[in-house]
Structure 1
C-alpha cells in the first residue's frame, strides 16, 4: 500500500508541473498576440547627441611661473701659480674669507732673489759701460756703433731685471677679489709645477641661477624685471632678485629658453649649490582662450569641434599658454566661435547635435589666479 501511495503522489506532482508549463506558454502567446506589429520598412528611432559648448573669448592674462634652479656664484676665480717652485706657505682653507690683495700662498724665493740681484748687477754694469762710451764718442775715441751696442746691452739688462722681478713677485700669490675660499688643492711642501691650480675663490656678494622658460613666455619678460626667489634650505624664505640676462637661443627639443637671474644682496646662510625656486610674473597680454577640455588630440595634431547650425565641424588649431582650466588658441579659431566642451563620446565630424545649457559654470573664461608651472 505504501508503494502505491508514493506512486500516486509522484503522478500528482508530474501533472501539476505540466499544468504550470501550459499556463506559462499560454500567457506568452497572449502577450505576443496583443503587442503591436512593426510597420514594414520602419527604421529604429535615432537618439539625439547632446553636447555642451563654450565661446572663444579674448582675455588679458598675466601668467605666473615658478621654476626651479640652482644657486651659483656669479664670479669664480681659480688661483694658478705663475712660477714654479716649492710651496712653503698656504694658510688658507675652504670657508675662509679673503680680501683683494691678501697674500694666500708663498713659494720658495731664494733662487729668484739671487737672479734678481744678478740682473741688477748686470744692468748696473751695462749703464756704466754706456756712459763711458758716450763720454768717449765726442773725442772720436768710441764709434757710434759701439755706443749703439752698449745701449742695446743696457736695454736687454733692464728687461732681464724686470722679468726676474716679476717672477720674484709671483712667488707671493695674492687674492685677486674679495670672496670665500671654496677649494684648496695643494699643501706646503709640494713642488708646484708651472700653472697649477692651487685654490678657488668665489665672489659671494651676489649669486645667480639659470632657469628655463617656455618660448611662449619669453616675449613677455624683460631684462631687469623683478623676480621672487625662494631658497628651500632657508625655511622657504622669499627674497627679491632680477632678470640679469635672457639668452638668445632656444632649445629646439624642449622649446625653452635660458634665463639668468641674480640674487643681490645675498642673504645670510645662502650658498652656491642650494636649490632655489624662481617665480616670474609676465606682463598682461590679450589671448584668445577656450576651455582646456575642448582641445582634442590625434595623430594629425590638435583640433576642436566647432558648432554651427546644430552641426559640428572638426577644425585644426594650434594651442599656446595653458592657464588654469583655459588654454590659448594661437590660430584656427575666431572670437565668439562656439566649440564643443562636453559630449565627445561618439562625436564625429559633420554630426548633427543638440546643445544643452551648462548647468554649472565649469568653463567660465574669467581670469583666475595664475597657475604655477612645475
Structure 2
C-alpha cells in the first residue's frame, strides 16, 4: 500500500471512532431522559371550576314591606229624615263632637201643630170609648159601636206616636264621639228627605290599608304584630297589629286587602296619608338558594347541581318568594343538593366539575384551583 493510501485509511478509522463515541453519548442521554419521564406522574386534566352551596331546609321568618293608605274605618253620613228649613247648624269641618250632641235642628212648627191636633183627637177618642163602654153595660150600645170606638182610639195613638217620631227626626244628634269631616248645608237652607247634611268620622278608627300577595297571606293572621311608617311624619315606625284580612283577592294582581291598626294613633296622622307597613310572617320551613344560582331560559327556571359523580346536572325548579338575596325553591331539588352558584360560563350537562370554594363554608383545597382561578370565574 502506498503512503497516500495508508493516510486515507487512518482518517476513515478516526472518523468512525468519533461517530461511535457520539452515538454512545446520545444513547446514554436518551436513557437518562426516558428514566426521568417515567418517574414523573401523569397530570390529570382538571374539571370545570365552580363554587357551590349545599341546600338545607330551615325555619325562616320573612319581613315584607307593603305600601298603603291611612283610612277611617268608621265614617257616618248624616241625612235629613224630614223636610224643612235648617234652623240650627253650628258645627264645621274639624270640629270634635260628643256622643248625643245636637248637630242639626230643622224647623218643626207644622209638626208640633199636627202633634197638638192628634193629642186632642186622642183625648176625644178616649172619652168616646169610655162612653160606649158605659152604654154597653146598660145594653144601650152594640158591640159593633164599642169595637169601632176602640179602633178609633188605637188609630189616634198610632198617629201620635208617628208624629212624635217625625218631630224627633227634626233634631240630628251625633251617634258617637268623633270629628266632622264634611258640612254640606247651611242654616236657612230648605232640605228634603234623604239630603246629606254632614259626615262624621271616628278618629280612633284610623287604620292602615295595604294589599298583600297571595303567597304571603297563608303565613299571616289577625293579631300578628306589624310596624307602620308614615312618610309625612318621618322615618319613625309605629307599633300596630293586623286587624282584619279581607276574604277576597283582586283578580288583577292576586292580592288581598289587609287592615292594620295602631297601638297608639300618632299625632299628625290623617286619613289619606301614604304609609309603609312591615309585616312579619310566622317561621316556615323553606328551602333557599342564593338568587344568583337561579338560571332562566326559554324552557323556564333551573339550577345547576353537582351530582354524586361530580358532574354537572341541570334541574328545572319552581320558585316561591324572594328573601333578600335568596329565593325559595318549591320543586325541583331537595335538601342536601349541591347547587352551583358561580362558574356558569362553559358549563354543560355531564361535564366534570371541580369545587373551588363553598359559599356556605370554608374554602376546599384542591390541587388545581388557585385564587386567580376564582377571581376569573364568571
TM-score class normalised by the smaller sequence: 0.7 to 0.9
State yes or no: 1:266 paired with 2:265: yes
Give the TM-score taking structure 2 as reference length. 0.79
Give yes or no for contact 1:51–1:353 (8 Å, CA) kept in 2. Answer: no
Question: Deviation of residue 215 (structure 1)?
Answer: 2.4
- Distance across 2 between alignment mates of 1:307 and 1:48: 12
- Distance across 2 between alignment mates of 1:54 and 1:255: 33
**3-state secondary structure, aligned to 1:287:** strand
- Distance across 2 between alignment mates of 1:312 and 1:169: 84
Deviations 1:339-359 (A, max 9, x none): 2212223444x2414223128
Give 5+ residue unaligned stretches, structure 2: 1-44, 362-378
Match of 1:290 in 2: 289
Question: Deviation of residue 180 (structure 1)?
Answer: 0.2
Give 5+ residue unaligned stretches, structure 1: 1-45, 365-374
Structure 2 vs 1, CA of residues 300 and 141 (structure 1 numbering), >3 Å: closer, same or farther?
Answer: farther
Q: Which moved more, 1:97-106 or 1:331-340?
A: 331-340
Question: Deviation of residue 154 (structure 1)?
Answer: 0.7
Question: Deviation of residue 53 (structure 1)?
Answer: 2.1
Match of 1:161 in 2: 160
Question: Deviation of residue 328 (structure 1)?
Answer: 1.1
| 1:307-322 paired onto structure 2 within 5 Å | 307-308=306-307, 309-322=309-322
Question: Deviation of residue 239 (structure 1)?
Answer: 1.9
| 1:1-374 paired onto structure 2 within 5 Å | 49-308=48-307, 309-348=309-348, 350-358=349-357, 361=359
- Distance across 2 between alignment mates of 1:264 and 1:150: 63
Match of 1:43 in 2: none
Give yes or no for contact 2:66–2:277 (8 Å, CA) kept in 1. Answer: yes
**3-state secondary structure, aligned to 1:356:** strand
- Distance across 2 between alignment mates of 1:77 and 1:86: 22
Question: Deviation of residue 258 (structure 1)?
Answer: 2.3
Structure 2 vs 1, CA of residues 207 and 192 (structure 1 numbering), >3 Å: closer, same or farther?
Answer: same
Question: Deviation of residue 305 (structure 1)?
Answer: 1.8
- Distance across 2 between alignment mates of 1:331 and 1:252: 25
**3-state secondary structure, aligned to 1:187:** coil
Structure with larger Rg: 2
Deviations 1:88-143 (A, max 9, x none): 22111000001111110111111111111111111111111111101110111111
Structure 2 vs 1, CA of residues 138 and 252 (structure 1 numbering), >3 Å: closer, same or farther?
Answer: same
Q: Which moved more, 1:60-69 or 1:293-302?
A: 293-302
Deviations 1:33-80 (A, max 9, x none): xxxxxxxxxxxxx99643322222222211111222111112000011
Structure 2 vs 1, CA of residues 318 and 251 (structure 1 numbering), >3 Å: closer, same or farther?
Answer: farther
Question: Deviation of residue 249 (structure 1)?
Answer: 2.8
Match of 1:370 in 2: none
Q: How many residues align?
A: 316
Deviations 1:165-195 (A, max 9, x none): 1111111111111100000111112110101
- Distance across 2 between alignment mates of 1:267 and 1:142: 76
Structure 2 vs 1, CA of residues 352 and 120 (structure 1 numbering), >3 Å: closer, same or farther?
Answer: same
- Distance across 2 between alignment mates of 1:167 and 1:299: 73
**3-state secondary structure, aligned to 2:160:** helix
Q: Which moved more, 1:47-56 or 1:231-240?
A: 47-56
Give yes or no for contact 1:289–1:328 (8 Å, CA) kept in 2. Answer: yes
Q: Which moved more, 1:137-146 or 1:274-283?
A: 274-283
Question: Deviation of residue 264 (structure 1)?
Answer: 4.2
**3-state secondary structure, aligned to 2:87:** strand
- Distance across 1 between alignment mates of 2:284 and 2:207: 28
**3-state secondary structure, aligned to 1:223:** coil
Structure 2 vs 1, CA of residues 186 and 254 (structure 1 numbering), >3 Å: closer, same or farther?
Answer: same
Q: CA RMSD in A?
A: 2.0
